[in-house]
Structure 1
Amino acid sequence: MSPDTLNSLFSLLIGFAFAGALASGYQAMAERPAGFGLLQEGVAPKTFAAVPFLVFAAPFIIMRNTLRGARIERRRFEFVMMATVISGFWSLMSGTFFMMTLRAAGVLG
């Protein structure tokens, strides 16, 4: 496995782990699952604070909603696969950003 491939895989996994940690932390504190409905609460500081949270928690929320929809609503395979690819790409990008931030802070070498 090339170093670039390994770095991308690590970023993908870090992105999903970070998204899951954020969404689980929100659920533990708010006693309800995180969702994109946080953006529909009107113009308020809470809504603006939800945007950066949702940017990083979105891969987990997308996959949770997709897997629930596949099981409950019997969604087609193509829809589930498309949502998985979108969630994976989003996770790769947020994981890359997170890794770059850690490198800039000097935490990673």
Structure 2
Amino acid sequence: MSPDALNSLFSLCIGFALAGALTSGYQALVHRPAGFGLLQEGAAPKTFAAVPFLVFAAPFIIMRNTLRGAKVERRRVEFVMLATVLAGFWSMMSGTFFLMTLRAAGLLA
């Protein structure tokens, strides 16, 4: 495996792990699952604070909603595959940003 492919795989894994940790922490604090409904509370400071949270938590929320919809609503395989690719790409981008931030802060070599 090339170093670039390994770096992309590591970013993907870090992105999903970060998204899962954020949504699990949110659910532990407020006793309800995180979702995109956090943005529908109007122009309030709480809504603006939800945007950075959702940027990093979105891959987990997308996959949770997709897998739940595949079982409950009998969604087509193509829709599940498209949502999985979208969540994977989003996870890789957020993982890359997170790793670049750690490198810039001097926490990673």
TM > 0.5 fold call: yes
* Letter of the structure 2 residue corresponding to residue 42 of structure 1: G
- Name structure 1 gaps, 5 residues minimum: none
Partners of 1:62 and 1:30 lie apart in 2 by 20
Partner of 2:99: 99
Partner of 2:22: 22
Partners of 1:78 and 1:66 lie apart in 2 by 11
Q: Which runs of 4+ in 1 moved over 2 A?
A: none
| Deviation (angstroms), 1:20 | 0.2
* Percent of matched pairs sharing the same residue: 83
- Indicate the SS of the match to 1:42: coil
1:45-64 alignment runs, 5 A limit: 45-64=45-64
Task: State the Cα deviation string for residues 13-48 of structure 1 (Å, max 9, x = none).
Answer: 000000000000000001000000000011100000
Task: State the Cα deviation string for residues 42-86 of structure 1 (Å, max 9, x = none).
Answer: 110000000000000000000000000000000000000000000
1:67 aligns with 2:31: no
Partners of 2:108 and 2:6 lie apart in 1 by 15
Aligned-pair Cα RMSD in Å: 0.3
Partner of 1:82: 82
Partners of 2:19 and 2:9 lie apart in 1 by 15
TM-score (norm 1): 0.99
TM-score (norm 2): 0.99
Partner of 2:44: 44
| Deviation (angstroms), 1:99 | 0.4
Partners of 2:106 and 2:60 lie apart in 1 by 27
| Deviation (angstroms), 1:90 | 0.1
